[in-house]
Amino acid sequence: MRLSHQAKRFWLVAAASICMATASTAFGGAFEVLQQGARASGQAEAFVAQADDPSAIWYNPGGLGQLQGTNAQVGGYLVVPDYQFKGAGGTASNQQMSVLPMIYVESDFGTDKLRFGLGLNNVYGLREDYGLNTPFKDVFTRGHLYTINIQPTVGYEVNEHLSVGIGFNIYAGSADLEHAQVLGAPPTPLGYLKLRGSDIAYGVSPGVLWKIDDHNSIGLFYHSPFTLHLGGTTTIRATGIPTIGPSPTNAGVEVPQTAGIGYAFKPMNRWKIETDAVWSNWGALQGIRIQSSNPLFNNQVISTKYHDTWAFRLGTQYEINKNWTVRGGYQYGTSAAPQATFSPLVPDSNYHLFSAGLGYAKDNWSIDGAYIFILRETRNITDSINTAADGKWNTNMQGFMVSFGMKL
């Protein structure tokens, strides 16, 4: 009976963690990857009402109406997390780096009003490894989760003030999670349970950009909800013991809708200031249903009890001259997970994001860089579903991003 209890608890952690992939708005572990372009990231993602480069495909498709000709942007994001845990049963840490690419291409194909674009980016992801010397090794040890977004996009310039656009999202998700598995009293060897699953889901991302005049603009974007049925197998292996499984299993995860609004102001031609507010409807997700060929945890409903989250962003950029631009910003975001559903895979808490950026442009090409530091508020967890993870969590993260742009 011990085995079925451990398997059930693993699926609770895995499913809750996967669905939390977008519940927090700063990438670390299984968090949403907000950083999808160096210009936006240098301004703490306050970019909805600007969206004036090809990354508008993701940030606000309505921004494509500002672009002319054919433009391409290629970039990469290096993430360096630092998670520190101290509890009654011991300590744990994670510093697994990740490199995430993004590509955007758009063109008007010689038309006056229409714009066509294609984006490829990783919008939700994790790469974590706590090792086996932690108090919660039988809950989670290591994992890899990614969700690649392939986004064909169409934009339309209604007039010189108003542009609209819509992206069609194809999400390819994959999860690979592991933990130690107690199979019996010593000298029974310790086992290892591994989950692998994948799925493809679809969504839409419309956006609007309204340039009121040369100094004021407003932008809106929306990402529709989608469901990932992470179907795959679970397997348990141990030295000297026959492999258990693989057992077909499916975790259906509904990712809620997200919407945001931004206002950009130009006090002077070289200087822009923007503020954004972004809402994620995580309060709509109160539970997850697990389907498996194993009757011990088939049709289990996992209670999540999440709340909606908000992110508030403030960013600015200043053009020093025709070649050089500097950027900076701050963002504050709220946590979605209450203590009861806290997971070591997703050490979620309110956060403060600080950013700085530098750009250089010449002729038909440009290069932009950004540095991001994310400080998550200390969280003291008690009475969670994963009691071994109860304790003090301190998490922060550094990010480095570079984007190359070219007008073709």
Written in H, E and C, the secondary structure of the chain is CHHHHHHHHHHHHHHHHHHHHHCCCCCCCCCECCCCCHHHHCCCCCCCCCCCCCCHHHHCHHHHHHCCCEEEEEEEEEEEEEEEEEECCEEEEECCCEEEEEEEEEECCCCCCEEEEEEEEEEEEEEEECCCCCCCCCCCCEEEEEEEEEEEEEEEECCCCEEEEEEEEEEEEEEEEEEEECCCCCCCCCEEEEEEEEEEEEEEEEEEEEECCCCEEEEEEEECCEEEEEEEEEEEEECCEEEEEEEEEEEEEEECCEEEEEEEEEEECCEEEEEEEEEECHHHCCEEEEEECCCCCCCEEEECCCCCEEEEEEEEEEECCCCEEEEEEEEEECCCCCHHHCECCECCCCEEEEEEEEEEEECCEEEEEEEEEEEECCEEECCCCCHHHCEEEEEEEEEEEEEEEEEC
**Is the separation of the CB atoms in 33 and 26 below 8 Å?**
no
- pLDDT 10s digits, 305-345: 788 989 999 999 999 999 999 999 999 999 888 888 887 87
With beta carbons less than 8 A apart as the criterion, state whether 40 and 63 touch.
no
Q: What is the pLDDT of residue 163?
A: 97
Q: What residues does each domain of the chain span?
A: 2-407
Residue 313: name the closest of 121, 30, 48 by CA.
48
How far is 233 from 267, CA to CA, in rounded Å? 57
Cβ atoms of 17 and 59 within 8 Å: the answer is no
Question: Is pLDDT of 304 > 80?
Answer: no
Identify the pLDDT of residue 295: 64
Q: pLDDT grade, residue 19 (50/70/90)? A: very low
Query: pTM value?
Result: 0.87
Q: What is the pLDDT of residue 20?
A: 38
Evaluate if residue 155 carries a pLDDT over 90.
yes
Q: Which CATH superfamily is domain 2-407 in?
A: Outer membrane protein transport protein (OMPP1/FadL/TodX) (2.40.160.60)
From 356, 253, 363, select the one nearest 38 (Cα to Cα): 356
Evaluate if residue 18 carries a pLDDT over 70: no
Residue with the larger pLDDT of the pair 18 and 142: 142
Per residue in 52-75, pLDDT tens?
999 999 999 999 999 999 999 999
**pLDDT confidence band for 297 (50 / 70 / 90):** low
pLDDT band at 351 (very low <50, low <70, confident <90, very high): very high
pLDDT at 96 over 70: yes
Query: Tens digits of per-residue pLDDT, 130-147?
Result: 888 888 887 778 887 788
Residue 196, pLDDT score: 79
Please name the residues in contact with 112: beta carbons below 8 A apart, sequence gap of 6 or more: 157
The pLDDT score that the predictor gives to residue 207 is 98
